[in-house]
Amino acid sequence: MVSRVDAEDDVRSRVLAAATRLFANRGFDGTSVQLIADEVGVTKPAVLHHFSSKEELRRAVVGNMLDHWQKTLPNLLLAATAGDDRFERVIGELLRFFTADPDRARLVAREMLDRPAEIRALLKSAVRPWLGAVSGYIERGKNSGETSVSVDSEAYVIHILLLVIGASASQSVALAALDGKDAKQRYERELLRIARSSLGIQKGRRE
């Protein structure tokens, strides 16, 4: 038998999931609390029981995404500092984070456009540790001759982050232009090639 607490937690989780999906696809302004309630199959007061306003719900949605990012961050940091295939590991972890739930990428893209000041603050707190680790790896590659000395390591990492976010956010649309059952693999493989070639790294070359 499901307890009342478990039932309440389930409703809250479903509201968060529905709000994430709707905010990502319709935008914050284009999504009403009633629409979220209808998506979950509960009443509007039930939604407001867990989140006192739509703005509070938006903050919870962004916070939930950041919680997932913080769980992924150790893998990203480890990938940036260990092994001979660090480049593939880093980009792979980043791709997995956003392609596991493309609504994350769409949500970030919308928030960057609609609330740039908040996203700037989030980037400093959530992305900065990873940025430092990855750019440090690139700098070591420049010193050893494995990476082009003309690369601005920190700016490169930001560009790659935005490239992955944009590619993940638009993937469902972009894949329509590619033929074949392997369209998704081709799409992601080419993204990896672009990111790698920008550093001057050749496929199969030891990093």
pLDDT, position 39: 96
d(CA 120, CA 101): 22
Q: What separation in angstroms does the CA of 176 have from each of 52, 125, 164, 179, 184?
A: 40, 36, 18, 8, 10
pLDDT, position 206: 44
pLDDT, position 36: 97
d(CA 109, CA 113): 7
Q: What are the pLDDT digits (tens) for 29-56?
A: 999 999 999 999 999 999 999 999 999 9
Q: Which among 94, 80, 191 has a CA at the least distance from the CA of 139?
A: 80
Helix axes 102-114, 4-26, angle to 10 degrees: 60
pLDDT, position 84: 61
The model's pTM: 0.82
H or E element at residue 16: helix 4-26
pLDDT, position 99: 86
Q: Using CA of residue 129, residue 131, residue 137, residue 143, what is the dihedral sign?
A: negative
pLDDT, position 2: 44
pLDDT, position 4: 52
Q: Are 199 and 156 in contact (CB under 8 A)?
A: yes
How many CA within 13 A on the CB side of residue 119?
11
Q: Both tokens of residue 170?
A: 């638009």
How many CA within 13 A on the CB side of residue 83?
12
Q: Are 102 and 184 in contact (CB under 8 A)?
A: no
Q: Residue ranges of the chain with pLDDT lower than 70?
A: 1-8, 80-84, 201-207
Q: Using CA of residue 107, residue 108, residue 109, residue 112, what is the dihedral sign?
A: positive
Largest distance between two CA atoms of the chain:
63
